[in-house]
Structure 1
Amino acid sequence: MQFYFPTELGEQLAFTGASLAALLGFVIMFAPGLTMRFFGLVQREDRFEGMGLLRFLGGMMLGLGLSAILLAQVWVYIAIGATFGIGFFGLALSMLQDHGATFRNILFMVVVLALIALPLAYVFGLF
């Protein structure tokens, strides 16, 4: 089995978005403490449920990105765009209702916008 790398620019951008999603998921899954510190979250010494949730979410992102890389199908790219689009809505909701408009959240919002735009631009033929 050979590793497939797309030849068209649009599919290369979608592939890059899927790779970024997988990389972000990998970091979240295997370094949840680093992720929590980056986002300013505090872990209590006697409660570890948050770490499990972060690893779960990181694993979901990693799995979604890897499945897009391995399958290279339009529907998987749509799934990535839709998943991060709904997550983007949640992040915007947090900024409006929870006063979460911090530099870190805005930076993360830019990353999420790229993870939405790259796969969906290919799917809808913008590249």
Structure 2
Amino acid sequence: MEFYFPTETGEQLAFASAAATALIGLLILFAPGITMRMLGLGIMAGRREGLAAIRFGGGLLTGLGGSVVMLAQPMLYLAYGATLAAGCFGLVLSVLSDHSATWRTVLSLVVAGILASLPFVYVFGLV
């Protein structure tokens, strides 16, 4: 079995987006404390369940990005982009409803928006 790397520019962008998501997921999975500090989150004294929830999210991102990288199919890129776009919608809802328009939230929204748009650019033939 050989490693597939796309030759078209649009697919390379979608592939890079999925790979970046997998790497971000690995960071969250193996360094939840650092991730929580970067996001401005903390753990209550005596309550460590937050780390499990953060690691779960990291595992989801790693699995999502990794499976798209390994299988590299247009419909998977579409599903991956739609999943990240739904996450962006959640961030927008949080900014509007929870008044959480901090620089961290806006940065997360920008990064997730870029990562979500790249697969759409490929799938819909914009590049």
Runs of 4+ in 1 over 3 A off after TM superposition: none
What is the rounded CA distance, in whole Å, between the counterparts of 2:23 and 2:45 in structure 1? 28
Query: TM-score normalized by structure 1?
Result: 0.96
Paired residue for 1:86? 86
Aligned to 1:4, what secondary structure does the other structure show?
A: coil
Paired residue for 1:123? 123
Runs of 5+ unmatched residues, structure 2: none
Paired residue for 2:100? 100
Paired residue for 2:69? 69
What is the rounded CA distance, in whole Å, between the counterparts of 2:50 and 2:81 in structure 1? 26
Identity of aligned residues (%): 54
Runs of 5+ unmatched residues, structure 1: none
What is the rounded CA distance, in whole Å, between the counterparts of 1:47 and 1:112 in structure 2? 29
Aligned to 1:44, what secondary structure does the other structure show?
A: coil
Post-superposition CA distance 1:39-96 (Å, at most 9, x none): 1111123111111111111101100101111001111111211111111111011111
Aligned residues: 127
What is the rounded CA distance, in whole Å, between the counterparts of 1:56 and 1:123 in structure 2? 28
Post-superposition CA distance 1:68-127 (Å, at most 9, x none): 110011111112111111111110111111111011111111100111111111011111
What is the rounded CA distance, in whole Å, between the counterparts of 1:108 and 1:57 in structure 2? 14
Paired residue for 2:48? 48
Paired residue for 1:112? 112
Paired residue for 1:57? 57
Aligned residue identity for 1:82? A
What is the rounded CA distance, in whole Å, between the counterparts of 2:120 and 2:61 in structure 1? 17
